[in-house]
Amino acid sequence: MSEEKSEVKAIVTPTKLVYQFSAIGSHAEFLKAISEGKLVGERCPSCKKVYCPPRGICPRCGVETPEKVDIDDKGTVTTYCIVRVPSENIDLKLPYCAANILLDRSDMPIMALIQECPAEDVRIGMRVEAIWAPEEDWGPTMENIRYFRPIDEPDVPTEEMGDWY
Amino acid sequence: MRDVAILSFAQTPYKRRESERTEVQMVLSVVTDAVEKSGLPKSDIGFTCSGSSDYLAGQSFAFVGAIDGLGAWPPIAESHVEMDGAWALYEAWIKIQTGMCNTALAFSFGRASMGSLPETLNMQLDPYTLGPLGIDSISMAALQARAWLDQDNHTERQMAEVAVRSRKNALNNPDAQLKGDFEVEKLLSEPYLIEPLHKHDCPPITDGANAVVIAAADAVPSGANPVWIRGIDHRIEPHQPGFRDLTQSPSTKLAGEKAGATRLDIAELHAPFTHQELILRDALGLDDDVRINPSGGALAANPMMVAGLTRMGEACREIWAGRAKRALAHATSGHCLQQNLVCVLEGD
Protein backbone atom coordinates (compact mmCIF):
# COMPACT_ATOMS: atom_id res chain seq x y z
CA MET A 1 0.00 0.00 0.00
CA SER A 2 1.56 3.25 -1.02
CA GLU A 3 1.09 6.24 1.18
CA GLU A 4 0.28 9.56 -0.43
CA LYS A 5 2.25 12.35 1.15
CA SER A 6 0.52 15.66 0.75
CA GLU A 7 2.40 18.89 1.22
CA VAL A 8 1.46 20.98 4.27
CA LYS A 9 0.75 24.36 2.76
CA ALA A 10 -0.69 26.18 5.74
CA ILE A 11 -1.45 25.64 9.38
CA VAL A 12 -3.68 27.59 11.71
CA THR A 13 -2.34 28.35 15.19
CA PRO A 14 -4.96 30.41 17.01
CA THR A 15 -3.61 33.11 19.31
CA LYS A 16 -5.54 35.31 21.67
CA LEU A 17 -4.08 37.90 24.00
CA VAL A 18 -6.36 40.11 26.05
CA TYR A 19 -5.28 43.59 27.11
CA GLN A 20 -6.83 46.06 29.49
CA PHE A 21 -5.92 49.54 28.40
CA SER A 22 -6.35 52.16 31.11
CA ALA A 23 -6.14 55.67 29.74
CA ILE A 24 -4.02 57.79 32.05
CA GLY A 25 -2.84 61.38 32.13
CA SER A 26 -3.17 63.20 28.83
CA HIS A 27 -4.83 60.24 27.13
CA ALA A 28 -7.55 60.18 29.77
CA GLU A 29 -8.14 63.93 29.61
CA PHE A 30 -8.37 63.90 25.83
CA LEU A 31 -10.81 60.98 25.79
CA LYS A 32 -12.92 62.57 28.53
CA ALA A 33 -13.09 65.85 26.58
CA ILE A 34 -13.99 64.21 23.29
CA SER A 35 -16.74 62.24 24.97
CA GLU A 36 -18.22 65.66 25.81
CA GLY A 37 -17.82 66.89 22.24
CA LYS A 38 -14.68 68.91 22.92
CA LEU A 39 -11.10 68.71 21.68
CA VAL A 40 -8.21 69.41 24.01
CA GLY A 41 -4.51 69.71 23.28
CA GLU A 42 -1.32 70.56 25.15
CA ARG A 43 1.27 73.28 24.56
CA CYS A 44 5.01 72.62 24.88
CA PRO A 45 6.53 75.08 27.36
CA SER A 46 9.74 75.10 25.32
CA CYS A 47 8.90 75.28 21.58
CA LYS A 48 5.25 76.41 22.11
CA LYS A 49 3.90 73.79 19.70
CA VAL A 50 0.39 72.55 20.48
CA TYR A 51 -0.35 68.84 20.20
CA CYS A 52 -3.81 67.34 19.74
CA PRO A 53 -4.28 64.53 20.62
CA PRO A 54 -1.79 65.23 23.41
CA ARG A 55 0.74 62.69 24.73
CA GLY A 56 1.86 64.49 27.87
CA ILE A 57 5.24 65.30 26.35
CA CYS A 58 6.76 67.21 23.45
CA PRO A 59 8.50 64.73 21.14
CA ARG A 60 10.69 67.51 19.79
CA CYS A 61 11.94 68.96 23.06
CA GLY A 62 11.61 65.94 25.36
CA VAL A 63 9.76 67.83 28.10
CA GLU A 64 6.38 67.47 29.81
CA THR A 65 3.50 69.52 28.45
CA PRO A 66 1.19 70.39 31.35
CA GLU A 67 -0.56 73.41 29.76
CA LYS A 68 -4.01 72.55 28.31
CA VAL A 69 -5.34 74.25 25.19
CA ASP A 70 -8.88 74.10 23.81
CA ILE A 71 -8.79 73.12 20.15
CA ASP A 72 -11.36 74.12 17.51
CA ASP A 73 -13.13 71.52 15.43
CA LYS A 74 -12.36 73.51 12.29
CA GLY A 75 -9.15 73.19 10.36
CA THR A 76 -7.19 73.29 7.13
CA VAL A 77 -6.27 70.43 4.80
CA THR A 78 -2.48 70.03 4.70
CA THR A 79 -2.41 66.96 2.44
CA TYR A 80 -4.85 64.33 1.21
CA CYS A 81 -5.22 61.21 -0.85
CA ILE A 82 -8.10 59.84 -2.87
CA VAL A 83 -8.86 56.18 -2.23
CA ARG A 84 -10.21 54.22 -5.20
CA VAL A 85 -9.50 50.70 -3.88
CA PRO A 86 -12.11 48.86 -1.80
CA SER A 87 -11.08 47.61 1.64
CA GLU A 88 -12.70 44.87 3.69
CA ASN A 89 -13.17 46.98 6.81
CA ILE A 90 -14.22 50.27 5.26
CA ASP A 91 -17.80 50.73 4.17
CA LEU A 92 -17.52 53.92 2.11
CA LYS A 93 -18.55 54.77 -1.39
CA LEU A 94 -15.52 54.93 -3.71
CA PRO A 95 -13.71 57.14 -4.38
CA TYR A 96 -13.35 58.82 -1.00
CA CYS A 97 -10.84 61.27 0.43
CA ALA A 98 -8.63 60.84 3.51
CA ALA A 99 -6.85 63.99 4.58
CA ASN A 100 -4.48 65.43 7.12
CA ILE A 101 -6.21 68.32 8.81
CA LEU A 102 -4.45 70.96 10.83
CA LEU A 103 -7.02 71.93 13.46
CA ASP A 104 -7.15 75.61 14.38
CA ARG A 105 -4.94 76.31 17.44
CA SER A 106 -3.09 72.99 16.97
CA ASP A 107 0.31 72.38 15.37
CA MET A 108 -0.11 68.71 14.54
CA PRO A 109 -2.44 67.58 11.73
CA ILE A 110 -4.84 64.71 12.43
CA MET A 111 -6.07 62.25 9.85
CA ALA A 112 -9.77 62.20 8.96
CA LEU A 113 -12.24 61.67 6.14
CA ILE A 114 -13.56 64.51 4.01
CA GLN A 115 -17.17 64.03 2.93
CA GLU A 116 -20.06 66.06 1.48
CA CYS A 117 -18.00 67.10 -1.52
CA PRO A 118 -16.61 65.23 -4.54
CA ALA A 119 -13.22 63.74 -3.57
CA GLU A 120 -11.70 65.49 -6.59
CA ASP A 121 -12.61 68.90 -5.11
CA VAL A 122 -10.42 68.45 -2.03
CA ARG A 123 -7.27 70.57 -2.13
CA ILE A 124 -4.42 71.64 0.12
CA GLY A 125 -5.41 74.75 2.03
CA MET A 126 -9.14 73.95 1.97
CA ARG A 127 -11.05 74.93 5.12
CA VAL A 128 -13.10 72.16 6.76
CA GLU A 129 -15.21 71.57 9.88
CA ALA A 130 -15.91 68.46 11.93
CA ILE A 131 -19.25 66.69 11.65
CA TRP A 132 -19.94 64.97 14.92
CA ALA A 133 -21.97 61.84 15.50
CA PRO A 134 -25.33 62.36 17.28
CA GLU A 135 -24.65 63.29 20.91
CA GLU A 136 -26.34 60.17 22.29
CA ASP A 137 -23.68 58.10 20.49
CA TRP A 138 -20.69 59.93 21.96
CA GLY A 139 -18.11 57.90 23.83
CA PRO A 140 -14.41 58.24 24.71
CA THR A 141 -13.33 57.80 21.07
CA MET A 142 -12.16 59.73 18.00
CA GLU A 143 -15.08 58.11 16.19
CA ASN A 144 -17.31 60.82 17.70
CA ILE A 145 -16.10 62.87 14.74
CA ARG A 146 -17.62 61.10 11.75
CA TYR A 147 -15.84 63.20 9.15
CA PHE A 148 -14.98 66.74 8.06
CA ARG A 149 -16.75 68.76 5.37
CA PRO A 150 -15.79 71.92 3.47
CA ILE A 151 -16.82 75.30 4.84
CA ASP A 152 -17.28 78.51 2.95
CA GLU A 153 -14.03 80.22 3.87
CA PRO A 154 -11.17 81.22 1.60
CA ASP A 155 -8.34 78.66 1.20
CA VAL A 156 -5.29 79.16 3.39
CA PRO A 157 -2.11 79.66 1.33
CA THR A 158 0.54 77.03 2.16
CA GLU A 159 2.97 79.62 3.47
CA GLU A 160 0.37 80.86 5.97
CA MET A 161 -0.42 77.45 7.43
CA GLY A 162 2.38 77.71 9.93
CA ASP A 163 5.26 75.44 10.81
CA TRP A 164 3.51 72.22 11.74
CA TYR A 165 5.00 68.75 11.50
CA MET B 1 39.20 47.18 22.77
CA ARG B 2 38.09 50.60 24.01
CA ASP B 3 37.50 50.92 27.74
CA VAL B 4 33.85 51.79 28.31
CA ALA B 5 32.22 52.88 31.56
CA ILE B 6 28.70 53.22 32.89
CA LEU B 7 28.27 56.83 34.03
CA SER B 8 24.75 56.79 35.40
CA PHE B 9 21.66 54.72 36.06
CA ALA B 10 18.05 55.83 36.54
CA GLN B 11 14.82 53.93 37.08
CA THR B 12 11.18 54.44 37.91
CA PRO B 13 9.98 52.98 41.20
CA TYR B 14 9.04 49.42 40.25
CA LYS B 15 5.41 48.60 41.02
CA ARG B 16 2.59 46.26 40.12
CA ARG B 17 0.78 48.86 38.06
CA GLU B 18 1.99 52.22 36.83
CA SER B 19 -1.23 54.18 36.95
CA GLU B 20 -0.02 57.75 36.70
CA ARG B 21 2.30 57.83 33.71
CA THR B 22 2.22 56.51 30.16
CA GLU B 23 5.18 54.54 28.78
CA VAL B 24 6.41 57.68 27.03
CA GLN B 25 6.32 59.65 30.27
CA MET B 26 8.14 56.83 32.06
CA VAL B 27 10.82 56.88 29.36
CA LEU B 28 11.12 60.66 29.52
CA SER B 29 11.66 60.61 33.27
CA VAL B 30 14.39 57.93 33.32
CA VAL B 31 16.19 59.26 30.25
CA THR B 32 16.21 62.82 31.60
CA ASP B 33 17.44 61.55 34.97
CA ALA B 34 20.19 59.30 33.55
CA VAL B 35 21.50 61.98 31.17
CA GLU B 36 21.53 64.56 33.96
CA LYS B 37 23.44 62.26 36.34
CA SER B 38 25.96 61.35 33.61
CA GLY B 39 27.39 64.86 33.49
CA LEU B 40 27.15 64.85 29.70
CA PRO B 41 25.02 67.37 27.83
CA LYS B 42 22.13 65.60 26.09
CA SER B 43 23.39 66.79 22.71
CA ASP B 44 26.65 64.86 23.30
CA ILE B 45 24.94 61.44 23.41
CA GLY B 46 26.16 59.74 20.23
CA PHE B 47 23.81 56.78 20.05
CA THR B 48 20.60 55.61 21.69
CA CYS B 49 19.32 52.04 21.93
CA SER B 50 16.18 50.74 23.61
CA GLY B 51 14.91 47.35 24.73
CA SER B 52 11.20 46.60 24.89
CA SER B 53 8.46 44.40 23.50
CA ASP B 54 5.33 45.62 21.73
CA TYR B 55 3.50 42.52 22.99
CA LEU B 56 3.44 43.98 26.50
CA ALA B 57 1.32 46.99 25.57
CA GLY B 58 -0.40 45.07 22.77
CA GLN B 59 0.35 47.97 20.52
CA SER B 60 2.34 47.76 17.30
CA PHE B 61 5.32 50.11 17.11
CA ALA B 62 5.07 50.98 20.81
CA PHE B 63 8.89 51.04 20.70
CA VAL B 64 8.81 53.81 18.10
CA GLY B 65 6.25 55.73 20.16
CA ALA B 66 8.67 55.63 23.10
CA ILE B 67 11.11 57.78 21.12
CA ASP B 68 8.73 60.67 21.77
CA GLY B 69 10.14 60.59 25.29
CA LEU B 70 13.66 61.37 24.07
CA GLY B 71 13.21 64.78 22.52
CA ALA B 72 14.81 63.33 19.41
CA TRP B 73 15.27 66.61 17.57
CA PRO B 74 17.44 67.25 15.60
CA PRO B 75 17.09 63.57 14.56
CA ILE B 76 19.28 61.15 16.53
CA ALA B 77 21.08 57.88 15.77
CA GLU B 78 18.83 55.29 17.34
CA SER B 79 18.22 51.55 17.45
CA HIS B 80 16.00 49.05 19.24
CA VAL B 81 16.24 45.46 20.40
CA GLU B 82 13.16 43.34 21.05
CA MET B 83 15.03 42.16 24.14
CA ASP B 84 15.82 43.18 27.66
CA GLY B 85 17.56 46.54 27.99
CA ALA B 86 20.78 44.70 28.90
CA TRP B 87 21.08 43.80 25.23
CA ALA B 88 20.38 47.42 24.30
CA LEU B 89 23.39 48.31 26.45
CA TYR B 90 25.37 45.57 24.69
CA GLU B 91 24.52 47.07 21.29
CA ALA B 92 25.49 50.51 22.55
CA TRP B 93 28.79 49.08 23.85
CA ILE B 94 29.47 47.49 20.43
CA LYS B 95 28.72 50.80 18.74
CA ILE B 96 31.35 52.49 20.90
CA GLN B 97 33.81 49.66 20.14
CA THR B 98 33.38 50.26 16.41
CA GLY B 99 34.32 53.90 16.90
CA MET B 100 31.01 55.11 15.48
CA CYS B 101 30.30 56.97 18.70
CA ASN B 102 31.95 57.74 22.03
CA THR B 103 28.90 57.94 24.27
CA ALA B 104 25.54 56.20 24.30
CA LEU B 105 22.23 55.93 26.08
CA ALA B 106 20.48 52.60 26.64
CA PHE B 107 16.98 52.44 28.06
CA SER B 108 14.17 49.94 28.48
CA PHE B 109 10.55 49.98 29.51
CA GLY B 110 7.73 47.55 30.10
CA ARG B 111 4.17 47.88 31.28
CA ALA B 112 3.25 44.23 31.65
CA SER B 113 0.20 45.06 33.77
CA MET B 114 -1.85 45.77 30.65
CA GLY B 115 -1.91 42.16 29.54
CA SER B 116 -1.60 38.68 30.97
CA LEU B 117 2.17 38.25 31.15
CA PRO B 118 2.47 34.44 31.46
CA GLU B 119 0.28 34.02 28.36
CA THR B 120 1.98 36.84 26.49
CA LEU B 121 5.34 35.13 26.99
CA ASN B 122 4.00 32.11 25.15
CA MET B 123 4.62 34.23 22.06
CA GLN B 124 8.37 33.67 22.56
CA LEU B 125 7.95 29.99 21.68
CA ASP B 126 8.11 28.57 18.18
CA PRO B 127 4.70 29.34 16.70
CA TYR B 128 4.24 26.06 14.79
CA THR B 129 4.69 23.17 17.16
CA LEU B 130 5.22 24.40 20.73
CA GLY B 131 3.43 27.75 21.10
CA PRO B 132 0.02 26.40 19.97
CA LEU B 133 0.07 23.97 22.92
CA GLY B 134 -0.69 27.05 24.99
CA ILE B 135 2.01 26.56 27.61
CA ASP B 136 2.74 29.70 29.62
CA SER B 137 5.98 30.99 31.12
CA ILE B 138 5.29 29.73 34.65
CA SER B 139 4.57 26.22 33.40
CA MET B 140 7.80 26.33 31.38
CA ALA B 141 9.72 27.33 34.50
CA ALA B 142 7.95 24.58 36.44
CA LEU B 143 9.20 21.99 33.95
CA GLN B 144 12.69 23.29 34.53
CA ALA B 145 12.28 23.32 38.31
CA ARG B 146 11.04 19.72 38.26
CA ALA B 147 14.07 18.59 36.27
CA TRP B 148 16.37 20.50 38.65
CA LEU B 149 14.73 19.10 41.79
CA ASP B 150 15.17 15.60 40.46
CA GLN B 151 18.96 16.01 40.57
CA ASP B 152 21.56 15.88 43.32
CA ASN B 153 19.12 15.95 46.27
CA HIS B 154 17.98 19.46 45.37
CA THR B 155 15.02 20.60 47.47
CA GLU B 156 12.15 23.02 47.44
CA ARG B 157 13.57 24.35 50.70
CA GLN B 158 16.68 25.60 48.87
CA MET B 159 14.36 27.41 46.48
CA ALA B 160 12.32 28.95 49.30
CA GLU B 161 15.54 30.15 50.92
CA VAL B 162 16.32 32.10 47.76
CA ALA B 163 12.90 33.78 47.93
CA VAL B 164 13.33 34.65 51.61
CA ARG B 165 16.80 36.13 51.11
CA SER B 166 15.73 38.09 48.00
CA ARG B 167 12.75 39.72 49.65
CA LYS B 168 14.72 40.44 52.80
CA ASN B 169 17.45 42.13 50.76
CA ALA B 170 14.77 44.14 48.97
CA LEU B 171 13.90 45.81 52.28
CA ASN B 172 16.93 48.02 51.60
CA ASN B 173 15.77 48.83 48.08
CA PRO B 174 13.25 51.69 48.03
CA ASP B 175 12.36 50.95 44.39
CA ALA B 176 11.62 47.25 44.87
CA GLN B 177 8.08 45.96 44.72
CA LEU B 178 7.96 42.79 46.84
CA LYS B 179 9.86 42.91 50.10
CA GLY B 180 9.60 41.72 53.65
CA ASP B 181 10.63 39.17 56.24
CA PHE B 182 9.28 35.76 55.33
CA GLU B 183 9.81 32.35 56.91
CA VAL B 184 10.86 29.37 54.86
CA GLU B 185 8.58 26.98 56.79
CA LYS B 186 5.57 29.17 56.29
CA LEU B 187 6.24 29.65 52.57
CA LEU B 188 6.65 25.90 52.07
CA SER B 189 3.33 25.22 53.80
CA GLU B 190 1.46 27.26 51.20
CA PRO B 191 -0.19 25.56 48.22
CA TYR B 192 1.60 25.13 44.91
CA LEU B 193 0.95 27.63 42.14
CA ILE B 194 2.06 25.28 39.39
CA GLU B 195 3.76 22.29 40.95
CA PRO B 196 6.60 22.21 41.90
CA LEU B 197 6.52 26.04 42.00
CA HIS B 198 4.98 27.92 44.88
CA LYS B 199 3.98 31.52 44.45
CA HIS B 200 7.15 32.60 46.26
CA ASP B 201 9.25 30.86 43.59
CA CYS B 202 7.83 33.18 40.94
CA PRO B 203 8.54 36.83 40.18
CA PRO B 204 5.96 39.56 40.64
CA ILE B 205 4.48 41.26 37.58
CA THR B 206 5.98 44.71 37.43
CA ASP B 207 5.73 47.96 35.46
CA GLY B 208 8.89 50.01 35.09
CA ALA B 209 11.51 51.73 33.00
CA ASN B 210 15.23 52.41 33.35
CA ALA B 211 18.16 54.00 31.55
CA VAL B 212 21.96 54.06 31.60
CA VAL B 213 24.52 56.32 29.97
CA ILE B 214 27.85 54.83 28.92
CA ALA B 215 30.99 56.44 27.57
CA ALA B 216 34.41 55.52 26.18
CA ALA B 217 37.32 56.40 28.46
CA ASP B 218 38.23 59.50 26.45
CA ALA B 219 34.65 60.78 26.65
CA VAL B 220 34.14 60.40 30.41
CA PRO B 221 33.43 63.92 31.71
CA SER B 222 35.49 65.25 34.60
CA GLY B 223 33.81 64.76 37.94
CA ALA B 224 32.12 61.57 36.77
CA ASN B 225 32.17 58.38 38.79
CA PRO B 226 32.68 55.76 36.08
CA VAL B 227 32.02 52.06 36.60
CA TRP B 228 34.10 50.21 34.01
CA ILE B 229 32.75 47.40 31.89
CA ARG B 230 35.67 44.95 32.22
CA GLY B 231 33.99 42.23 30.22
CA ILE B 232 30.64 41.63 28.55
CA ASP B 233 29.46 38.60 26.62
CA HIS B 234 26.20 36.87 25.76
CA ARG B 235 25.45 33.35 24.59
CA ILE B 236 22.33 31.57 23.45
CA GLU B 237 21.01 28.02 23.64
CA PRO B 238 18.57 26.27 21.27
CA HIS B 239 15.05 27.64 21.01
CA GLN B 240 13.40 24.26 21.55
CA PRO B 241 13.53 23.52 25.29
CA GLY B 242 13.67 19.82 24.45
CA PHE B 243 17.13 20.27 22.94
CA ARG B 244 18.50 21.57 26.22
CA ASP B 245 19.49 20.23 29.60
CA LEU B 246 17.28 22.60 31.58
CA THR B 247 19.11 21.89 34.83
CA GLN B 248 22.31 23.53 33.55
CA SER B 249 23.12 26.87 32.00
CA PRO B 250 26.04 26.32 29.62
CA SER B 251 25.37 29.67 27.92
CA THR B 252 25.81 31.50 31.25
CA LYS B 253 28.94 29.48 32.02
CA LEU B 254 30.53 30.39 28.69
CA ALA B 255 29.46 34.04 28.84
CA GLY B 256 30.90 34.22 32.37
CA GLU B 257 34.23 32.78 31.23
CA LYS B 258 34.41 35.17 28.26
CA ALA B 259 33.52 38.16 30.43
CA GLY B 260 36.15 37.23 33.04
CA ALA B 261 33.75 36.62 35.92
CA THR B 262 36.24 36.03 38.73
CA ARG B 263 37.28 37.80 41.96
CA LEU B 264 33.76 39.10 42.53
CA ASP B 265 32.33 40.89 45.56
CA ILE B 266 28.72 40.76 44.48
CA ALA B 267 26.60 39.27 41.73
CA GLU B 268 23.29 40.66 40.51
CA LEU B 269 21.63 37.68 38.85
CA HIS B 270 18.55 38.05 36.68
CA ALA B 271 16.76 34.95 37.93
CA PRO B 272 12.99 35.41 37.71
CA PHE B 273 12.41 32.03 39.38
CA THR B 274 14.10 30.79 42.55
CA HIS B 275 15.61 27.60 41.09
CA GLN B 276 17.08 29.66 38.23
CA GLU B 277 19.26 31.58 40.67
CA LEU B 278 20.67 28.28 41.92
CA ILE B 279 21.32 27.09 38.35
CA LEU B 280 23.07 30.39 37.57
CA ARG B 281 25.23 30.33 40.70
CA ASP B 282 26.35 26.86 39.76
CA ALA B 283 27.06 27.84 36.13
CA LEU B 284 29.11 30.84 37.22
CA GLY B 285 30.89 28.94 39.99
CA LEU B 286 30.09 31.66 42.52
CA ASP B 287 31.64 31.11 45.94
CA ASP B 288 29.62 31.54 49.11
CA ASP B 289 31.44 34.79 49.86
CA VAL B 290 29.97 36.47 46.77
CA ARG B 291 26.91 38.43 47.88
CA ILE B 292 23.96 37.61 45.63
CA ASN B 293 21.34 40.17 44.63
CA PRO B 294 21.69 42.78 47.38
CA SER B 295 18.89 44.64 45.54
CA GLY B 296 16.48 41.75 45.95
CA GLY B 297 16.80 40.71 42.31
CA ALA B 298 14.02 39.83 39.91
CA LEU B 299 12.08 38.06 42.68
CA ALA B 300 11.55 41.45 44.29
CA ALA B 301 10.70 43.33 41.08
CA ASN B 302 10.62 41.94 37.57
CA PRO B 303 9.71 44.59 35.02
CA MET B 304 9.70 42.65 31.78
CA MET B 305 12.39 43.85 29.31
CA VAL B 306 13.83 46.03 32.10
CA ALA B 307 14.94 43.64 34.86
CA GLY B 308 18.20 42.59 33.14
CA LEU B 309 19.47 46.13 32.65
CA THR B 310 18.40 46.76 36.24
CA ARG B 311 20.98 44.20 37.37
CA MET B 312 23.71 46.35 35.81
CA GLY B 313 22.31 49.44 37.47
CA GLU B 314 22.11 47.70 40.84
CA ALA B 315 25.68 46.40 40.50
CA CYS B 316 26.79 49.98 39.79
CA ARG B 317 24.91 51.22 42.86
CA GLU B 318 26.83 48.77 45.05
CA ILE B 319 30.09 50.03 43.56
CA TRP B 320 29.11 53.70 43.83
CA ALA B 321 28.12 53.12 47.47
CA GLY B 322 31.54 51.58 48.14
CA ARG B 323 30.06 48.23 49.13
CA ALA B 324 31.73 46.41 46.23
CA LYS B 325 34.79 46.83 44.05
CA ARG B 326 34.10 44.24 41.40
CA ALA B 327 30.62 43.04 40.48
CA LEU B 328 28.90 40.70 38.10
CA ALA B 329 25.64 41.66 36.41
CA HIS B 330 23.67 39.02 34.56
CA ALA B 331 20.64 39.25 32.30
CA THR B 332 18.48 36.53 30.84
CA SER B 333 16.04 36.35 27.97
CA GLY B 334 13.63 33.70 26.75
CA HIS B 335 12.14 30.73 28.57
CA CYS B 336 14.10 28.74 31.15
CA LEU B 337 17.28 30.86 30.88
CA GLN B 338 17.58 30.35 27.13
CA GLN B 339 19.89 33.30 26.50
CA ASN B 340 22.25 34.86 28.99
CA LEU B 341 24.45 37.92 29.20
CA VAL B 342 27.22 38.41 31.72
CA CYS B 343 28.87 41.73 32.42
CA VAL B 344 31.77 42.33 34.81
CA LEU B 345 31.90 45.80 36.35
CA GLU B 346 34.61 47.50 38.36
CA GLY B 347 34.92 50.82 40.14
CA ASP B 348 37.44 53.45 39.15
Is B73 within 8 Å of A13 when comparing Cβ atoms? no
- Whether the pTM exceeds 0.80: the reply is yes
Q: Is residue A15 part of a domain?
A: no
Question: In Å, how far is A29's CA from the nearest CA of chain B?
Answer: 12
Give the pLDDT band of residue A161 (cuts 50, 70, 90): confident
Q: How many domains does chain A have?
A: 1
Question: A18–B128: do the CB atoms touch at under 8 Å?
Answer: no
| Position A19 in a domain | no
Rounded to the nearest angstrom, the minimum Cα separation between A84 and chain B is 27
CB contact under 8 A, A25 and B25: yes
Domain contains A13: no
- Whether residue B25 and residue A61 make contact (CB cut-off 8 A), yes or no, is no
CB contact under 8 A, A11 and B128: yes
pLDDT number for residue A163: 75
- Is the pLDDT confidence value at A140 over 60? yes
Name which of B73, B114, B120 is nearest A20 (Cβ-Cβ). Answer: B114
pLDDT in tens, B270-315: 999 999 999 999 999 999 999 999 999 999 999 999 999 999 999 9
- In a domain, residue A62? The reply is yes
Task: Indicate yes or no: CB of B119 within 8 angstroms of CB of A17.
Answer: yes
pLDDT tops 70 at residue A1: no
Q: Which ipTM was obtained for this model?
A: 0.85
- Give a three-class secondary structure readout of chain B: CCCEEEEEEEECCCECCCCCCCHHHHHHHHHHHHHHHHCCCHHHCCCEEEECCHHHHCCCCHHHHHHHHHCCCCCCCEEEECCCHHHHHHHHHHHHHHCCCCEEEEEEEEEHHHCCHHHHHHHHCCCCCCHHHCCCHHHHHHHHHHHHHCCCCCCHHHHHHHHHHHHHHHHHCCCCCCCCCCCHHHHHCCCEEECCEEHHHCCCCEEEEEEEEEEEHHHCCCCCCCEEEEEEEEEECCCCHHHCCCCCCHHHHHHHHHHCCCCCCEEECCCCCHHHHHHHHHHHCCCCCCEECCCCHHHCCCECCCHHHHHHHHHHHHHHCCCCCEEEEEEEECHHHCEEEEEEEECC
Taken in order of first residue, the domains within chain B and their CATH numbers are 4-116+206-219 (3.40.47.10)
Residues of A in contact with B132 (CB under 8 A): 13-14
What pLDDT is recorded for position A155? 96
Q: What is the pLDDT of residue B183?
A: 97
Q: What percent of chain A has pLDDT over 70?
A: 97
Those residues of chain B that have pLDDT short of 50 are none
B41 touches chain A (CB under 8 A): no
Tell me the percentage of chain A whose pLDDT exceeds 90.
79
Which pLDDT band holds residue A2 (cuts at 50, 70, 90)? low
Domain holding A52, by residue range, is: 25-160
For residue A160, the model assigns a pLDDT of 87
Does residue A6 fall inside a structural domain? no
The answer to whether B76 faces chain A, any CB pair under 8 Å, is no
Residue pLDDT, tens place only, A39-82: 999 999 999 999 999 989 999 999 999 999 999 999 999 999 99
Within-domain flag for A147: yes
Q: What is the mean pLDDT of residues A113-117?
A: 96
Among A17, A26, A55, the residue with its CB nearest the CB of B115 is: A17
Chain-chain contact of A62 with B22 (C-beta, under 8 angstroms): no
